[in-house]
C-alpha cells in the first residue's frame, strides 16, 4: 500500500497529463511518454510484470477451484500438492489445461488487447460490484454488524463500483458478452452440481442405516472379528458408510478397529 499504490497513482496521473498535453491524440501514452533510451527496458519490465501477473492468475484459479470443491460447489478435481511445507501450494492439471485453452481462444478470437478490453472491463467491474455485495452479506450475517453500519459502507463502495460497471455495460456487444457468458456457464455448472449432489444425498440417505442403530445391533449380534484396522471414508458421519455395510454383508466380518 505504501509503495505500489503511490506508484500506480503517479503513473496514471502522468499518463493523463501526457494525454491532455498532447490534445488527446496519444494512442499508447504509457510507452509514448518515455524517452527513446528507456523504451526497450520498459518493454522488458512490462513483459516481466505480465508474466508475474499471469502466474498470479493461474495460482488464483487453482485456489478458487479448490475452495469451490471443498464447499461442494464443483465436482472433485485432482489436486497435486507441490510442497511438503505449504498446504496451499498446489497444482491442478485440469484447471491449468482449461485456463490455457481459454486464453488461447480469447487471443485468437479477439486478436488484439484493445479488442479484449471490453471483456476485461466487464469482468473487473463486475467482480468489484459482486465483492461489495458479498461484503454486505459477510458484515451483516457473519460479523453481525448493524444494518445501518453495513449499508453505509456498502453504499460508499457500491456507488463507485456501480459507476464503473455502468460505464462498461455499453461494451457488452463489443465483447463484454464473453465475460457474462463464461460467468453464466460457471454459475450453471455450480447450480447443476449442487442440485444433483443434494438430490443424490437425499436419495442415498433414505437407504442408509444410522450409525448408532448399526452399532447397537452389532453389540447384540457380534460378527466375526478379524485383526487389523479398517478405514471407511464417508461424507455423512451420522450414517453407516456404504463400504462398511458391503463388508458386513459379503465378508461377514468386522475389523477390530474401524475408523469412520
The residues, any chain, with a CB within 8 Å of residue 224's CB and separated by 6 or more, are 252, 253, 254
The band of 209, judged by pLDDT with boundaries at 50, 70 and 90, is confident
Please give the biggest Cα pair distance in the chain.
91
pLDDT value at position 129? 92
pLDDT value at position 64? 93
Strand, helix or coil for residue 227: strand
Range in 24-28, 53-57, 67-71, 194-198 the model is least confident about: 24-28
What's the rounded Cα separation, in Å, for the pair 12 and 252? Answer: 74
Q: What is the mean pLDDT of residues 221-250?
A: 85
Q: Crossing angle of helices 93-110/36-70, nearest 10°?
A: 130
Q: Crossing angle of helices 93-110/177-207, nearest 10°?
A: 150
Reference 172, options 245, 136, 119, 99; nearest CA is 119
The band of 2, judged by pLDDT with boundaries at 50, 70 and 90, is confident
Q: In the structure grid, which three cell numbers stand for residue 130, read together?
A: 459482486
pLDDT value at position 61? 93
* Backbone φ, ψ for residue 82 (5° rounding): -95, 5
pLDDT value at position 249? 83
What's the rounded Cα separation, in Å, for the pair 189 and 185? Answer: 6
Reference 57, options 93, 95, 2, 84; nearest CA is 95
Strand, helix or coil for residue 166: helix
Q: What is the mean pLDDT of residues 138-147?
A: 92
What's the rounded Cα separation, in Å, for the pair 183 and 125? Answer: 13
Range in 41-55, 172-186, 207-221 the model is least confident about: 207-221
Quickly tell me which residue has 478379524 as its cell.
226
Instruction: Compute the Cα dihedral for 244, 245, 247, 253 and give only its sign.
Output: positive
Q: What is the dihedral of CA 141, 162, 19, 38, to 10 degrees?
A: 30
Assess whether pLDDT exceeds 90 at residue 95: yes
Q: What is the mean pLDDT of residues 246-253?
A: 84
Amino acid at each position: 500500500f505504501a509503495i505500489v499504490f503511490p506508484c500506480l497513482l503517479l503513473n496514471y496521473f502522468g499518463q493523463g497529463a501526457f494525454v491532455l498535453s498532447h490534445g488527446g491524440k496519444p494512442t499508447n501514452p504509457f510507452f509514448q511518454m518515455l524517452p527513446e533510451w528507456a523504451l526497450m527496458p520498459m518493454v522488458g519490465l512490462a513483459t516481466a510484470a505480465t508474466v508475474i501477473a499471469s502466474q498470479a492468475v493461474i495460482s488464483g484459479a487453482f485456489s478458487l477451484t479448490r475452495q469451490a470443491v471443498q464447499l461442494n460447489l464443483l465436482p472433485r478435481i485432482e489436486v497435486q500438492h507441490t510442497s511438503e511445507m505449504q498446504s496451499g501450494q498446489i497444482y491442478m492439471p485440469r484447471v491449468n489445461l482449461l485456463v490455457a485453452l481459454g486464453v488461447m481462444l480469447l487471443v485468437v478470437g479477439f486478436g488484439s488487447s484493445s479488442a479484449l478490453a471490453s471483456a476485461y472491463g466487464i469482468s473487473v467491474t463486475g467482480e468489484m460490484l459482486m465483492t461489495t455485495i458479498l461484503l454486505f452479506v459477510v458484515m451483516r450475517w457473519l460479523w453481525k454488524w448493524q444494518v445501518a453500519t453495513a449499508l453505509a459502507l456498502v453504499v460508499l463502495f457500491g456507488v463507485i463500483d456501480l459507476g464503473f460497471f455502468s460505464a462498461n455495460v455499453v461494451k457488452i456487444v463489443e465483447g463484454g458478452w464473453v465475460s457474462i457468458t463464461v460467468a453464466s456457464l460457471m454459475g450453471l455448472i455450480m447450480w447443476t452440481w449442487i442440485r444433483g449432489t443434494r438430490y443424490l444425498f437425499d436419495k442415498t440417505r433414505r437407504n442408509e442405516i444410522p450409525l448408532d442403530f448399526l452399532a447397537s445391533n452389532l453389540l447384540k449380534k457380534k460378527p466375526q472379528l478379524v485383526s487389523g484396522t479398517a478405514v471407511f471414508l464417508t461424507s455423512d458421519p451420522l450414517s453407516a458408510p456404504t463400504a462398511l455395510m458391503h463388508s458386513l454383508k459379503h465378508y461377514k466380518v468386522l475389523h477390530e478397529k474401524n475408523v469412520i
